[in-house]
Structure 1
Amino acid sequence: MASHYEMFPAVVTRVEQLTPLIKRFTFKRQDGQNFPRFSGGSHIIVKMNEQLSNAYSLMSCTQDLSTYQVCVRKDVEGKGGSVFMHDQCNEGCEIQISEPKNLFPLAETGNKHILIAGGIGITPFLPQMDELAARGAEYELHYAYRSPEHAALLDELTQKHAGHVFSYVDSEGSMLNLDELISSQPKGTHVYVCGPKPMIDAVIDCCNKHRYRDEYIHWEQFASTVPEDGEAFTVVLAKSNQEIEVQSNQTILQAIETLNIDVECLCREGVCGTCETAILEGEAEHFDQYLSDAEKASQKSMMICVSRAKGKKLVLDL
């Protein structure tokens, strides 16, 4: 499997503590060149070392390619990447940055665009709001967060997009009424959501309730959606002529790595596509965000970092 991404040696030029749990990192290329162009909603892979790499939404200005910026929320129960970024990635730190890819683009047309963010899910909307403003489009951001100290970037957004930003603070009893918001929009409105899985599920369910067509509902989530109570199954590696058991608390990738078989995977979250593997026999239960619905239904390939077997056995082209 060839890499889906070109990587660039980069250096951290600035680290800002935005909230108790969120830091903003600014990167420059080590060769002094500009980064590739990107559109709002794009993500990059930040490769910290040989063991740690994560996907993060780009939040910097699409017109200034001298730097890239991302926000990282510290998650002590995660895979370790966010803790590394917070505790060890300081100004001057050298890392690898991938070219950008966009799995969460703005619709090219639409009467209105409603952006719904929860917590760290605010990040992809910063460049998207700039794009919508430049288009002269009608748009609103609805931003929910736990308490005032967790309102990352709110001041920047309200200054830049006055009249377009609406905030909801859990600790102050200010709640976002999804049903009222989504039901009151004009026909042809696009709805975008990025945040915790319960919020994403609630927005999708509400849009479906009010008969939004699928192409008008957009979401992004980097945290894993793999169920914790999955069944164990067998994977046969056709090229390697090996058979392994994948336990209920393991991913296929983790099981394969115990055999010291080299499989490239940058994100381990089902978003980058680097671990895409052909399915020779069996069916996969897909949990990635990279493949389209049609590609998932075809059962030709899967992302082994998050997706699992539907039955008791899978044969993979590895």
Structure 2
Amino acid sequence: MRYLIDAIIRHGPMVKEFRLAPEGGAPLPPWQPGAHVELEFISRAGASHRNAYSMVGEEGGMLRIAVQREEGGRGGSRVLHDEFESGMTLEVSPPLDAFKLHVGRTRTVLIAGGIGITPMLPMARALDAAGASYRLHYLARDAERLVLADDWTKFNPERVQTHVTATQGRPDLAGLIGPWEEGCELHACGPSLLLEAIRAAATAQGWPQQHVRFESFGARAHDEDGPLQVVLRQTGMTLDVAPGKSILDAMIEADVFVSYECKRGECGNCYAGVVSGEPLHRDVCLNAQQRAMGMTPCVSWARGPLLELDL
């Protein structure tokens, strides 16, 4: 469906909020806290982009999303920041509920890293409305990255705690999460390294995996990644995969039959056994035993030059 950009609001040096109105005055579709939409657009240079963004909320019949400008990645966020203005249109998917809120009977812990605050805001509003016990922890490198302050400062101050790592140091994640007890739920959104640390801290305190839910963002490619030759044992195919391209995308382009869903290393649906090679795990869903035997090719890489998968 086409949406009109009604307004663009800057939040700090790196984030712009887009307020989008369905064309023709149509109402916004129903959605749940944690949902995201996918935007389709074309750059001035003719490159096609499809980017997913969490729904921050609604305002006057308009959908709110926040886009952080990323210098790396495939350039979609830069195109939105640099080339799109109020009055232009975007193709927007229906809301997708891949990161659902589970309200804890005892307490609910929300942890956001940087722009990861976006899905946490509607979650916190829903918890407020339900009278549930919760705590929102908002982590950022510096104060100017604590964006969307007009939203989270409306909550009871006792429910929200900010952590600026440049001045306060790294927070005690174990202390923020607390020990597991029946009726607790944990939701976290942020860069993969933060989520990996959160998962380790939660596991150490006895949290069952099914009560810890993640949504990640940011590029998984690292500067030191080298080219890979990926051998698929069952199909007999060999794929040359360049850094910056996911192994999963290379398999999809080669018409390899492979199961996948989130493509963000969160669901484990694309899990593949490793026959040989040294994986560099960048997922946020596999446990140590699973990592010892396989990997998620949607986000993970390997020390080159050769990786053999049981596919």
TM over 0.5: yes
The answer as to whether partners of 1:270 and 1:287 remain within 8 angstroms in 2 is no
1:17 equivalent in structure 2:
10
Per-residue CA distance 1:249-276 (angstroms, 9 max, x = gap): 54357657989x9xxxxx9954899xx9
**TM-score computed with the length of structure 1 as normaliser:** 0.74
1:86 equivalent in structure 2:
81
1:45 equivalent in structure 2:
38
The answer as to whether partners of 2:246 and 2:299 remain within 8 angstroms in 1 is yes
Shift of 1:162: 3.2
Match runs of 1:186-265 below 5 Å: 187-225=182-220, 228=225, 231-234=228-231, 245-247=240-242, 250-252=245-247, 255=250
Q: Which has the higher strand share?
A: 2
1:168 equivalent in structure 2:
163
Question: What amino acid maps onto 1:46 in structure 2?
Answer: L
Shift of 1:86: 0.8
1:120 paired to 2:80: no
- Cα distance change on mapping 1:288 and 1:9 into 2, 3 Å: farther
Which residue of the other structure, out of 304, 308, 311, is the alignment partner of 1:312? Answer: 308
Per-residue CA distance 1:181-202 (angstroms, 9 max, x = gap): 2235654321111112221111
**TM-score computed with the length of structure 2 as normaliser:** 0.76
The answer as to whether partners of 1:34 and 1:65 remain within 8 angstroms in 2 is no
- Cα distance change on mapping 1:172 and 1:55 into 2, 3 Å: same
Shift of 1:287: 7.1
1:56 equivalent in structure 2:
53
Residues in 2 aligned to 1:101 and 1:271: alpha-carbon distance in whole angstroms: 17
- Cα distance change on mapping 1:9 and 1:245 into 2, 3 Å: same
RMSD in angstroms over aligned alpha carbons?
A: 4.0
1:29 equivalent in structure 2:
22
The answer as to whether partners of 1:224 and 1:269 remain within 8 angstroms in 2 is no
Residues in 1 aligned to 2:231 and 2:212: alpha-carbon distance in whole angstroms: 36
2:129 equivalent in structure 1:
134
1:104 equivalent in structure 2:
99
Per-residue CA distance 1:80-102 (angstroms, 9 max, x = gap): 01101111111011111011112
Shift of 1:130: 0.8
1:181 paired to 2:176: yes
Residues in 2 aligned to 1:13 and 1:272: alpha-carbon distance in whole angstroms: 33
Residues in 1 aligned to 2:283 and 2:139: alpha-carbon distance in whole angstroms: 25
* More divergent stretch after superposition (218-227 vs 15-24): 218-227
What secondary structure, in the 3-state scheme, does the structure 2 residue paired with 1:160 have?
Answer: coil
Shift of 1:128: 0.5
Per-residue CA distance 1:3-50 (angstroms, 9 max, x = gap): xxxxx1111111001111011111111132112111111111011226
Residues in 2 aligned to 1:202 and 1:305: alpha-carbon distance in whole angstroms: 20
* More divergent stretch after superposition (27-36 vs 207-216): 27-36
What secondary structure, in the 3-state scheme, does the structure 2 residue paired with 1:91 have?
Answer: coil
For structure 1, the residue ranges without an aligned partner over 5 or more in a row are 1-7, 262-266
Residues in 1 aligned to 2:266 and 2:37: alpha-carbon distance in whole angstroms: 9
Per-residue CA distance 1:125-167 (angstroms, 9 max, x = gap): 1111111111110011011112222210234312233321111
Residues in 1 aligned to 2:175 and 2:21: alpha-carbon distance in whole angstroms: 43
**Equivalent residue pairs, number:** 288
What secondary structure, in the 3-state scheme, does the structure 1 residue paired with 2:157 have?
Answer: coil
- Cα distance change on mapping 1:311 and 1:244 into 2, 3 Å: closer
Q: Greater relative contact order: 1 or 2 (C-alpha under 8 angstroms, separation 6 or more)?
A: 1
Residues in 2 aligned to 1:19 and 1:135: alpha-carbon distance in whole angstroms: 31
1:4 equivalent in structure 2:
none
2:62 equivalent in structure 1:
67
The answer as to whether partners of 2:103 and 2:127 remain within 8 angstroms in 1 is no
Residues in 2 aligned to 1:304 and 1:150: alpha-carbon distance in whole angstroms: 31
The answer as to whether partners of 1:13 and 1:26 remain within 8 angstroms in 2 is yes
